[in-house]
A and B are shown apart, each in its own frame.
Chain A
Amino acid sequence: MLFSLRELVQWLGFATFELFLHLAALLAFSVFVALRVDLLTTVSWWLVFVPLFAADGLSTYFTAIVSIRLYQEGEERLAVLRLLWVLTVLSLKLVCEVLLCQKLAEQTRDPLFGLIVSPLFVLLQLLMIRACRVN
């Protein structure tokens, strides 16, 4: 729409298959959230977040495989850069998910949403810097 797939892959640093995986996880997560809110109100929020955690785990696994292959083919710099970037993005996403899940599960005032979303603010800055490099 606003970006072509090639631009998205370049900007976000994820392969097309990984983007597909995260979209599928988001779909499953939204279904689980709707079910949890409407019907299964006693189910743990940690279970609802399982698709997102699974997508993060699988994405890390694929990135590790791709980086090892790149390293074996002599592209050491590319392998390390890709591994560092994807692990940074995934860890920031995971921190945000875990904090949000904890807040929903325990129904407490702390941590504030400002703190929960702070990894996303860092991620936005990193994405802006990366966009300048890609361009």
Chain B
Amino acid sequence: MSMSLAQRVLLTWIFSLIFLIMLVLKLDDKIHWNWFLVFLPVWTFDTILLLMLIVKMAGRCKPGFDPRNAGDNLKKRVWYLVAILLKLAFSLLLCARLQDLTNIWLSFICIPLWALLIGAMVELGYNVFHF
């Protein structure tokens, strides 16, 4: 990762803070914006993550790429890509439901979130119990 830890923390912190403020204002009826607009920090943050990941994956196509350990790295990056897409799917479905565009059950909306959480638990569990 080319960004330093402080830069990554700052990026996460700023988007979390803006999202929390907008969420609170919307929930307390202080603003009457569309839910998709309230989730704008989430969309922006996910887009940045997605772009960073795609740039990293595109780095494999460079002429001087070292293929040692590339298999493991690629698997990890594909999982990260799937995780971001699952998070995006959950946020989109939740926004659509909150905005009354659809009336599907919350259980269906939560399926991408559950898949994401189970995947994260498997990855964390592997780290806890194998090392």
Contacts and interface: CB of A to CB of B under 8 A. Distances in A.
A47 interface: no
Interface in A78-135: 112-114, 117, 120-121, 124, 127-128, 131-132, 134-135
B105 A38 contact: yes
Interface in B30-54: 49, 52-53
Interface in B51-85: 52-53, 80, 83-84
Contact of A23 (B9, B12, B53, B117): B117
A22 to B, nearest CB: 10
Interface stretch (A24-32, A48-56, A57-65, A66-74): A24-32
Interface residues of A, number: 34
B98 interface: no
Contact of A135 (B4, B17, B107): B4
**A-side binding surface: helix, strand, loop or mixed?**
helix
**B-side binding surface: helix, strand, loop or mixed?**
helix
Nearest to B104: A38
A124 B13 contact: yes
B9 A131 contact: yes
Nearest to B52: A2
Given A1-B49, A1-B80, A1-B84, A120 B20 contact: yes
Nearest to A16: B128
A120 B5 CA distance: 22
A20 B128 contact: yes
A7 B9 CA distance: 10
B13 A127 contact: yes
B106 A33 contact: yes
Interface string A1-20: 11101010001000011011
Contacts of A132: 6
A4 to B, nearest CB: 8
B20 A2 contact: no
Interface of B: 1, 4-6, 8-13, 16-17, 20, 23-24, 27-28, 49, 52-53, 80, 83-84, 105-107, 109-110, 113-114, 117-118, 120-121, 124-125, 127-128
Interface of A: 1-3, 5, 7, 11, 16-17, 19-20, 23-24, 26-27, 30-31, 33-35, 37-38, 112-114, 117, 120-121, 124, 127-128, 131-132, 134-135
5 contacts: A2-B1, A27-B117, A34-B106, A124-B16, A124-B17
